[in-house]
């Protein structure tokens, strides 16, 4: 989680919506949920993603892979 916080400049927070993460955790895998949208508009009737979030959101997993795997 520290790496995700470093790369996003955001503090970890819990949110109240469903993902597959608990099921993946049961398999023994650590999980983290990253998404391009603002949590304020996530899971709302007119949910949308601003294009300003797309490019940075693609770079975060790329940076994580480079730091952890190489």
Structure confidence at residue 69 (pLDDT): 94
Structure confidence at residue 36 (pLDDT): 65
Q: Are 19 and 33 in contact (CB under 8 A)?
A: yes
Short-list 39, 49, 38, CA closest to 17 = 39
* pTM assigned to the model: 0.64
Mean pLDDT for the stretch of residues 7-20:
82
* Tens of pLDDT, residues 16-58: 778 898 999 999 998 888 776 666 777 778 888 888 888 888 8
């Amino acid at each position: 989680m520290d790496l995700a916080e470093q790369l996003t400049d955001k503090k970890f927070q819990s949110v109240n919506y469903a993902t597959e993460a608990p099921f993946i955790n049961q398999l023994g895998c650590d999980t983290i949920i990253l998404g391009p949208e603002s949590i304020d508009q996530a899971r709302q009737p007119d949910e949308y993603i601003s294009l300003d979030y797309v490019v940075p959101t693609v770079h975060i997993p790329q940076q994580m892979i480079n730091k952890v795997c190489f």
